[in-house]
Chain A
Amino acid sequence: MVWILLFPLIGAAGLALGRNHLSPRLIGTLGSGAVGAAFLVALSALASYNRAGEPLVQTVFTWAKGSGFEVSFGLLGDPISLWWLVVVTGVGFLIHVYASEYMAEDPGVGRFFAKLNYFVFAMSLLVLADNFVGLLIGWANVGLASFMLIGFWNYKPEAAAAAKKAFLLNVIGEVGIILGLALMFMEFRSLTFAEVFAKVGEADPGVLTGIGLLLLVGATAKSAQLPLFTWLPDAMQGPTPVSALMHAATMVTAGVYLMARAFPIYQASEAALTAVAWVGALTALTGAVVATRQVDIKRVLAYSTMSQLGYMMLGAGVGAYTASLFHFFTHAFFKALLFLGAGMIAHYLHGEQDIRRMGGLAKKQPFVYWTFLIGVLAIAGAPPFAGFFSKDEILGAVLEEGHVVLWVIGVVVAGLTAYYMTRLFALVFAGEPAQEHGHGHESGVAMKLPVAVLALLSAVSGLIAIPGVTAVPAHFLEPAFLRYGHHVPHAGIGWPVAVVLIAAAAGAYLAAKAYGPGGAARQALVATAGTPPRGALANAFYIDDLYQKGVGGLVTGISIVVGRGVDPYVIDGAVNGIAMVAKDIAEGLRRLHGGYVRRYALTLFAGVAVFMIYYILI
Chain B
Amino acid sequence: MNGDMVQGYVALSGILFVIGACGLMVRRSPLVMLMCVEIMLNAANLAFVAFARYLGNMEGHVFTFLVVTVAAAEVAIGLAVIVLLFRKRDAADVDDVNTLRG
- A positions within 8 Å CB-CB of B: 590, 592-598, 601-602, 605
Contacts and interface: CB of A to CB of B under 8 A. Distances in A.
Contacts of B21: 605
B101 A593 contact: yes
A594 B94 contact: no
Contacts of B100: 595
Given A596-B95, A597-B94, A597-B97, A605 B25 contact: yes
Nearest to B100: A595
11 contacts: A590-B102, A592-B102, A593-B102, A595-B97, A595-B99, A595-B102, A597-B97, A598-B24, A601-B25, A602-B25, A605-B21
A196 B95 CA distance: 88
Secondary structure of the A side of the interface?
helix
B88 to A, nearest CB: 16
Nearest to A597: B94
A593 B97 CA distance: 13
Interface string B9-24: 0000000000001001
B98 A595 contact: yes
B30 to A, nearest CB: 8
B28 interface: yes
A601 B95 CA distance: 12
A605 B19 CA distance: 13
Interface in B56-102: 94-95, 97-102
Nearest to B30: A597
Contacts of B33: 597
A597 B98 CA distance: 7
Contacts of A602: 25
Contacts of B94: 597-598
A596 B101 CA distance: 8
Contacts of A592: 102
B14 to A, nearest CB: 11
A597 B78 CA distance: 14
A606 to B, nearest CB: 10
A428 B24 CA distance: 110
B25 A598 contact: yes
Interface size class of B (residues with CB under 8 A): 10 to 19
B21 to A, nearest CB: 6
A412 B98 CA distance: 99
Contacts of B24: 598, 601
Given A598-B95, A601-B25, 10 more contacts: A590-B102, A593-B101, A594-B98, A595-B98, A595-B101, A595-B102, A596-B98, A598-B25, A601-B24, A602-B25
A485 B88 CA distance: 107
Contacts of B102: 590, 592-593, 595
Interface of B: 21, 24-25, 28, 33, 94-95, 97-102
Contacts of B28: 598
A525 B21 CA distance: 108
Contacts of A593: 101-102
B27 to A, nearest CB: 9
Contacts of A598: 24-25, 28, 94-95
Nearest to B26: A598
Contacts of B99: 595
Contacts of A595: 97-102
A592 B102 CA distance: 8
A616 to B, nearest CB: 13
A295 to B, nearest CB: 79
B25 to A, nearest CB: 5
A594 B99 CA distance: 9
Contacts of B25: 598, 601-602, 605
A63 to B, nearest CB: 62
Among A590, A592, A595, A602, find the residue whose CB has the most chain B CB atoms closer than 10 A.
Answer: A595
A605 B95 CA distance: 18
A322 B18 CA distance: 108
B87 to A, nearest CB: 18
A586 to B, nearest CB: 10
Contacts of B97: 595, 597
Contacts of A590: 102
A592 B98 CA distance: 13
A602 B26 CA distance: 9
A595 B21 CA distance: 19
Nearest to A606: B25
A476 B48 CA distance: 111
A594 B101 CA distance: 5
A120 B25 CA distance: 90
Contacts of A597: 33, 94-95, 97-98
Contacts of A594: 98, 101
A219 to B, nearest CB: 70
A596 B99 CA distance: 9
A605 B102 CA distance: 21
A203 to B, nearest CB: 73
Nearest to B102: A593
Contacts of A601: 24-25
Among B25, B28, B99, find the residue whose CB has the most chain A CB atoms closer than 10 A.
Answer: B25
In the complex, the 5 A-B pairs of residues with the closest C-beta atoms, listed nearest first:
A593-B102, A595-B101, A595-B98, A597-B94, A601-B24
A500 B85 CA distance: 115
A595 B101 CA distance: 4
Nearest to B95: A596
A408 to B, nearest CB: 90
Contacts of B101: 593-595
A595 B99 CA distance: 6
A428 to B, nearest CB: 87
A593 B100 CA distance: 8
Nearest to A602: B25
A370 B3 CA distance: 133
A215 to B, nearest CB: 69
A238 B27 CA distance: 92
Contacts of A605: 21, 25
A595 B95 CA distance: 9
A62 to B, nearest CB: 66
B32 to A, nearest CB: 12
A594 B97 CA distance: 11
A600 B81 CA distance: 18
A284 B99 CA distance: 88
B20 to A, nearest CB: 11
A131 B28 CA distance: 90
A280 B55 CA distance: 107
Nearest to A593: B102
A57 B25 CA distance: 95
B61 to A, nearest CB: 25
